[in-house]
Amino acid sequence: MDRRQFLQTGAAGLVTSSLAPGLFAAPADKVRRVGLIGTGWYGKCDLFRLIQVEPVEVVSLCDVDAKMLAEAAEITASRQKSGKTPRTYGDYRKMLAEKDLDLVLIDTPDHWHALPMIEAVQSGLDVWVQKPISVDIAEGQAMLAAARKHNRVVQVGTQRRSTPHLIEAKKKFIDSGALGKIAYVEIYCYYHMRTKENPPDTAPPEHLDYEMWTGPAPMRPYNKLVHPRSWRAFMEYGNGIVGDMCIHMLDMVRWQLGLGWPTRVSSEGGILVDTNSKANITDTQTATFEFGDLPVVWTHRTWGTAADPQYPWGATIYGEKGTLKLSVMSYDFIPQGGGKAEHGDVVMELEEYPEDKTEKDLEKHVAPAIRGHMKDWLAAVDARSKPVADIEQGHVSTASCILANLAMNVGRTLEWDSAKGDIVGDDEANQLLTRPYRAPWKHPEANEV
């Protein structure tokens, strides 16, 4: 059975079925045992929010950077109730082989999401995986199939769905019909986030296993931009700013408006301004996602000024009765033809969680959303149900953004067949649904998980 046959005959039933009771679900009175794969910036951020909302026991940590791993273990011991220092691993396979976890968080760079997630659900674990779920569409299809086959609860880190002021905006202006007919949506990011550096390649630091860090991705010479945190400058490890920032806003709009798959995706852009940087991601790009008669149009520029300085990263939803602006910081509703405008701001919960005030590199305005997202995940684990950012929703948003990059690369609009899981009538573009894996790593297939 090939991938297309599997998607047509097997995955469709798996995706629409409810999650069956899991064989490995922890009893309600049991302390959940947790492992984290990827102990960098957002790995610790996610893990410490989980510790804040649930008396879990962090049993193990995994990272290919020994220095980062040791630091994370020390901080985790100080944060968790037991005070115990987690075991540490340099290879996620050895960590999962211990068979002593209930939950695992995957906070690696994007090119390392698929394989650990699939092995985790095959091991009977419920999973938190950061967005975007995959670097190619076939990975995402395999991840979804694995989660359904093994009856695991998988929450994707698209926490806009759990952001309190955005939930409020959805209820007040979308669900109530206050916007009237919605006919156009803009999503955008104007952050100057693309590196301008062009440092020389060097040998990797001794504390980093660069071979394992690279894993299934193409092997590039080590560069200080790669690790830590700046790896998004390179398409070898992700999908550029569309894969990093567009997915959040596209997923938010899909959730707000109840949208499924786009039927057609087009995109254009490139490196139009900053040609001296070592980065190979676009500095300018637009993409149009067509949801029937509703276009959702993305724009990013890593130069110049934002169209609205109060909304440098966000969404603007245009309805016949008004306009709604949404971001991680606030919302604004502007009624058409006068009337009362309404504004709402993020609530940071710093008094309820005072450790947020001093935690290194924490995005304080995002912490409440992550806590809410964690609570939603744990409730779904207990109920054996789908969380608000279920792996299927993460796959749709991720794959849509990947389609935008593919459309830009081939220079034409792509029509997506969500039932078959491929691009209609475009053999060249369909060849790009799977990225080659570097040996000895094997690309996952939906019918083999």
The pLDDT tens digits of the residues spanning 330-386 come to: 999 999 988 899 999 999 999 999 999 999 999 999 999 999 999 999 999 999 999
Q: Give yes or no for residue 30 having a pLDDT over 90.
A: no
Task: Please provide the DSSP assignment of 126-175 as one string.
Answer: EEEEPSS--SSHHHHHHHHHHHHHTT--EEES-GGGG-HHHHHHIIIIII
* The predicted structure's pLDDT at residue 29: 67
Cα–Cα distance, 9 to 6 (Å, whole number): 5
**Residues present in the chain in total:** 449
* The predicted structure's pLDDT at residue 349: 96
What mean pLDDT is predicted for residues 304-320? 97
Please state, as a whole number, how many other Cβ atoms lie within 10 Å of the Cβ of residue 75.
Answer: 16
* The predicted structure's pLDDT at residue 345: 98
Q: Give yes or no for residue 16 having a pLDDT over 50.
A: no
Q: Tell me the CA end-to-end span of the chain in Å, nearest whole number.
A: 13
Please state, as a whole number, how many other Cβ atoms lie within 10 Å of the Cβ of residue 331.
Answer: 24
At 28, is the pLDDT very low, low, confident or very high (cuts 50, 70, 90)? low
The β-bridge partners of 316 are: 186, 325
Instruction: With CA atoms as reference, report the closest residue to 301 among 325, 317, 282, 284.
Output: 284
Mean pLDDT of the chain: 94
Distance of CA 366 to the CA centre of its chain: 14
* Cα–Cα distance list, 410 to 297, 402, 429, 431 (Å): 19, 12, 7, 11
What mean pLDDT is predicted for residues 242-266? 98
The β-bridge partners of 301 are: 284
What mean pLDDT is predicted for residues 210-239? 96
**Angle separating helix axes 137-149 and 114-122, nearest 10 degrees:** 10
Tokens standing for 309? 């300085």
* The predicted structure's pLDDT at residue 23: 36
Tokens standing for 33? 């045992």
What mean pLDDT is predicted for residues 85-113? 98
Please state, as a whole number, how many other Cβ atoms lie within 10 Å of the Cβ of residue 210.
Answer: 17
Burial class (CB in 10 A: 0-12, 13-18, 19+), 346: buried
Q: Give yes or no for residue 19 having a pLDDT over 60.
A: no
What order of strands is seen across the sheet that includes strand 103-106? 87-89, 57-62, 33-37, 103-106, 126-129, 154-156
Sign of the alpha-carbon torsion through 258, 318, 132, 44: negative
Q: Give yes or no for residue 17 having a pLDDT over 70.
A: no
* The predicted structure's pLDDT at residue 111: 98
CA Rg value for the chain: 21
What mean pLDDT is predicted for residues 395-403? 98
Task: Please provide the DSSP assignment of 48-81 as one string.
Answer: HHHHHHS--EEEEEE-SBHHHHHHHHHHHHHHST
* The predicted structure's pLDDT at residue 229: 87
Domain residue extents for the chain = 3-161+366-391
pLDDT by residue (tens digit) across 68-78? 999 999 999 99
Instruction: With CA atoms as reference, report the closest residue to 102 among 39, 136, 149, 153.
Output: 153
353: DSSP letter: S
* Cα–Cα distance list, 55 to 32, 36, 80, 388 (Å): 8, 16, 8, 22
What order of strands is seen across the sheet that includes strand 284-291? 342-345, 330-335, 322-327, 313-319, 182-189, 294-301, 284-291, 264-270, 414-417, 422-423
Homologous superfamily of 3-161+366-391 in CATH? NAD(P)-binding Rossmann-like Domain (3.40.50.720)
Please state, as a whole number, how many other Cβ atoms lie within 10 Å of the Cβ of residue 350.
Answer: 13
Better-scored residue on pLDDT, 172 or 27: 172
What mean pLDDT is predicted for residues 378-396? 98
Q: Contact, 239 vs 399, CB < 8 A?
A: no
pLDDT by residue (tens digit) across 153-201? 999 999 999 999 999 999 999 999 999 999 999 999 999 999 999 999 9
* The predicted structure's pLDDT at residue 1: 36
The β-bridge relationship of strands 414-417 and 87-89 is unpaired
**Over pLDDT 70: what percentage of the chain?**
94
pLDDT by residue (tens digit) across 285-307? 999 999 999 999 999 999 999 99
Cα–Cα distance, 88 to 373 (Å, whole number): 26
Q: Contact, 321 vs 311, CB < 8 A?
A: no
Say if pTM beats, i.e. exceeds, 0.85.
Answer: yes
* Cα–Cα distance list, 441 to 98, 218, 233, 293 (Å): 22, 11, 23, 42
